[in-house]
Amino acid sequence: MATECKKRAVLVGCNYPNTINKLSGCVNDAKAMREMIVSRFGFDSENVELLTDEPESTCKPTRANIMAALKKMVVAAKEGDVLLFHFSGHGLVHRIDPHQPPNEGEAIVPCDLNPIFDVDLGQLIQLLPSGSSFTIVSDSCHSGGLIDKSKEQIGPHSTLRGIAPPVDYKTRGISLATLFQCLQTAANVIIATQDLFPTRALGNAINTGTDNMTGIGSLLTTIFGNNVSLKFLPHYERDILNLRSLTEDEGILLSGCQANELSIDMPASEKTGGKAFGAFTYSVLKVIKESELGALTNRQLVVKARNEIIKLGIGQQHPCLYCSDENADAAFLGHQPNTTTGA
């Protein structure tokens, strides 16, 4: 007898309130996605974990909390289960060497600015049981490439000329220089107000003197200890974890833009119903709401979302799809119309 599948989700919205990195639509994105997957895709609300950085939130979307929620979801997964990770917030690109491949080192940025890189997500995906699926929807800058080695089904747009977005639109990306500056400030505050870490160690990290990934890694490991990306662990520690590259059929990524592009954070307006949203999340949800009750494939959803973003007057953001051929033509989140799905 077939085991009833379960659908589980971790939804994250980071607006970074009261900081220089402040965004407007990310919390709305996460809440709207929760409403959609519960009402349309058969997710049980008890299996949907929402992490936002609203002041009243009891579980903030720090790196530690996001990774713990993802690990809990992955460890609980059984064959046939459908998993979703939706992230709305800033993205970061690690590209020190100009000759480095363009889609290597992408990361999302939690509210504590302790990045989660593609290699961290890859380690989790490797733990999935056979027959389960893991979909990532990332509405952040430079999000193409968050799943290592996934086949590009819908990639760089080669015909549409870029159209500059309205000047009041923000982008969802943090530069290495800005991240370094923010971490440096945090380290200085720790030195001045707390005795949690040796002052000399923090001073050495701060005095790295660069805003490249070496300096950022030094600050992160000093502030957060071992709770940092695998990218910052010594090589021998990464070897112990037996990390490998993912195959193209492991994981499905719907990215808000290409690896070298920015995702737009739209302010509240009449066209968005008076609420701020990310252009990609807004477009995805609009496509789903306006579609017939039949299932949309991953490929269809991304193509239609691209068209919706163009209608918003944004021509420099091209959502992408990375997955196997089979998953490209599979129903988004395994949605089967007129059937009862497990919780």
Catalytic residues: 90, 141
Question: DSSP letter at 5?
Answer: P
- SS3 call for 275: coil
Rounded distance between C-alpha atoms, residue 124 and residue 25, angstroms: 27
Does an H or E element contain 133, and which? strand 133-139
Rounded distance between C-alpha atoms, residue 313 and residue 36, angstroms: 25
Do the Cβ atoms of 124 and 69 come closer than 8 Å?
no
- CA 189, 192, 193, 196 dihedral sign is positive
Distant-in-sequence, close-in-space partners of 190: CB < 8 Å, separation ≥ 6: 196, 197, 202, 223
CA 199 remoteness from chain centre: 34
The total number of residues shown for the chain amounts to 343
Which of 312, 338, 333 lies closest to 84, judged by CA?
Answer: 333
- SS3 call for 204: helix
Do the Cβ atoms of 263 and 317 come closer than 8 Å?
yes
Do the Cβ atoms of 141 and 261 come closer than 8 Å?
yes
- SS3 call for 7: strand
- CA 176, 181, 187, 193 dihedral sign is negative
Q: List the strands of the sheet with 90-93, edge to edge.
A: 90-93, 106-109, 116-117
The two structure tokens encoding residue 36: 């959609």
Rounded distance between C-alpha atoms, residue 163 and residue 70, angstroms: 36
